[in-house]
Amino acid sequence: MKKRMKKSALSYAITLAVFSLPVLADTTHSSDVDVMVVTATTNQTSLREAPATISVITSEDLNRKPVNDVASALESVPGVHVVRSSGSEPNIIIRGLKNNNTARDNFTLLLVNGRRINSSETMVRGAGFDFSSIPISAIDRIEVIRGPMSSLYGSDALGGVVNVILKQPTEETRVNASLSYSHPEEGDGAMTKGNVWVSGSARPDKLLYSVAAEVSQQDAWFPDDVHAGNNFSGNAEQERKGIQAALTWLVNENNKILWDISYLEDKRTYPDTDRNSSSDDDITNGKKYTTSLGHQGEWSWGNDNINYLYENSKIHDDNTHPLLEVANAKQQNHSLDAKFGITAIDGQLITTGFDVLYTSIDIDRDYNDSQSLTQSALFLQDQITLSDTLSATLSGRLTHNNNFGSDFTPRAYLVYTPSDRLTLKGGYAEGFKTPSIYQSSKDFTLVSCGGACYLTGNPDLKPESSKTVEFTSSYRGDSWFVQGTVFANQIENMIDRDTSTRATGFITYQNIEDDVESKGLELEGDLDISDTLYLNANATYTKTEVKATGLDLENVPSWLASVTLNWDASADLTLFASANYTGKQLGYSYSLGENIWFDPYVIANLGASYRINHDWTVKAGITNFLDKNLQAESQDYQESEIGRSYYITVDMAL
């Protein structure tokens, strides 16, 4: 199981050049009073007083790290586990909340500018391409909430929310461009990526614009020591290109109209499990088109934020399995949401609104007929200032789904700031997640069990629901910060596959009768060791249990930890070193036919950034410095990591 680490002269040279370097912290280094967030309430709130456990990743953080997509930017966030599998779309698991039989059906809602995006219904075997559809160059910041937010955002926000906030068009002309190249030490897998973001005014003080474009090419990867007959899955070849544009019309001082549009093409070629065989590769071609139109206004009574969003996702899935036909999948989403902020008396801010979502699915291989759902909701939130040091946030949402009826999800949160340094916060929340269309449709049938059975939908499924309590305490010193959070989740009606009928040739989905629990502890902090040396670290302990079996949830690490060290070696040179620890986790061994515990592992990265002048910066470093190869140790790992790789990036900012 152990793999001897190989070191080349190049790896030693780069190690000497960049060890001691800084890892640019994954969350903003500014005071939590200065940082403003919107996801916890839909209104501007300081990070310190936000009624949620929340982390913020800024565009500066993204620029200083080798980040390929939104998911890779989250790898050091407390309580967040990023699962990658052979080039598939990554899955984001928050506080261990996921379905038991797969890492795909988790409980994390993805938002862009506060709007829900979702293409996952198009790929039952994968996860769409939502995270990879967002150009990194267009991102202003990412806000990550750990804990249910269904009272504001509805279904899927049972475990948490990732809100990607894009850069807004600017009055002054700005240009940012980047070109990067990386190559593994062993095997192929080279990646080339370029992106550009341009912003300015087409008409000063009236019409602002921004355009972001991104192109990337990554070769399939196998380590050199994989031989014929080895069932190593490798990593998929991927070609990706996308563009995003936005216009802001400043109608007057109090009103503006916002329009944006984006387009993505994503082609993935999944190599045969035996790279030396003559079998054809699986190929997935995806295209996604998105556009939205919105209004933001300030009025004597408060403000409004109204948006319409349209998504059109298409995937052509050419799977080489002899029992699987070529599939053409299409998902369309139409959503309308409106939020109204009302300034009330006695220090209250009331936010209310509604949203309507219509989704249609057409997959010629997996469904007998087209499928659709309609979901609508009303929500109300009251932010109450009880005193100079105490505030309360109460919220509730009534959601109606045409297939599963109505569900009400409440939330209550208190924030207490007895001094400028100490913050205490905590609350109770309920969440829910309606079954996906494929899980609940009687018309859904898919070849499964390696061709030995069919997987069918179950129209009798119930929505999954949760009850959560959490408490957070944080303290900020002159040069240090520490925070601790305890949490407990109870999930009812978790959806799992019912494999008891496998002998009949058919399996389906079921609700687990007993509850599933997830509870744990999050610790995080940062320290200014000196004026130029900064340390950031966090650790998360999670204990899960399926009451029906007494076992842990599969593929949920007991511990997650991250440490980063940043060093401003000079005014122009910055260095970083980081390490992410993933603890032992229960998983299923297909080779043994039983559950086993997978060993812990560490992924370490090193890097440096040098500013040549005001406009140009060059960055270089090593990812997976310890050359951890999970599937070389056990092919039953559900995760895949490319081996030790070297990267170089050139940035331009005008």
Q: How many residues does the chain have?
A: 654
Nearest CA to 414 among 441, 450, 387, 378?
387
Q: What is the 3-class SS of 269-330, one letter each residue? A: EECCCCCCCCCCCEEEEEEEEEEEEEEEEEECCEEEEEEEEEEEEEEEEECCCCCCCCEEEE
Tell whether domain 9-653 is in CATH 3.40.1280.10.
Answer: no
User: Which residues in the chain show pLDDT less than 70?
Assistant: 1-33, 86-89, 99-105, 121-129, 223-234, 271-281, 319-325, 450, 638
Residues forming beta bridges with residue 296, ordered by sequence position: 256, 305
Give the predicted TM-score (pTM) of the model: 0.90
| End-to-end C-alpha distance for the chain, whole angstroms | 50
* Backbone CA torsion sign across 183, 584, 93, 55: negative
Q: Taking a C-beta distance cutoff of 8 angstroms, is the pair 216, 222 a contact?
A: no
Question: Count of CB atoms within 10 A of residue 480's CB?
Answer: 13
Tens digit of each residue's pLDDT (9 = 90 or more) over 80-139: 999 877 656 678 899 998 865 554 567 899 999 999 888 776 665 554 567 777 888 889
Measure the CA–CA gap between 264 and 241, rounded to whole angstroms: 6
- pLDDT reported for residue 356: 97
Q: For residue 615, what is the enclosing H or E element?
A: none
Q: Are strands 160-166 and 139-146 parallel, antiparallel or unpaired?
A: antiparallel
Structure tokens at 620: 């270089």
Q: Please report which residue ranges of 542-639 form alpha helices under DSSP H.
A: 630-633
Quote the Cα angle for 161-162-167, to 5°. 140
- pLDDT reported for residue 501: 78
Measure the CA–CA gap between 181 and 195, rounded to whole angstroms: 12
Structure tokens at 492: 């009812």
Measure the CA–CA gap between 59 and 142, rounded to whole angstroms: 8
Q: For residue 438, what is the enclosing H or E element?
A: helix 437-440
- pLDDT reported for residue 17: 35
Structure tokens at 212: 């972001």
Q: For residue 124, what is the enclosing H or E element?
A: none
Q: Taking a C-beta distance cutoff of 8 angstroms, is the pair 492, 518 a contact?
A: no
- pLDDT reported for residue 32: 65
3-state SS, residue 393? strand
Structure tokens at 105: 């059906």
Nearest CA to 152 among 179, 115, 103, 125?
115
Q: Taking a C-beta distance cutoff of 8 angstroms, is the pair 220, 271 a contact?
A: yes
- pLDDT reported for residue 8: 39
Nearest CA to 538 among 49, 110, 74?
74
The torsion angle over the Cα atoms of residues 117, 122, 127 and 132, rounded to 10 degrees, is: -50
Question: Count of CB atoms within 10 A of residue 504's CB?
Answer: 9
461 by Cβ neighbours in 10 Å (0-12 / 13-18 / 19+) ranks as buried
Q: Which residue ranges make up each domain of the chain?
A: 9-653
- pLDDT reported for residue 30: 53
Quote the Cα angle for 263-268-269, to 5°. 155
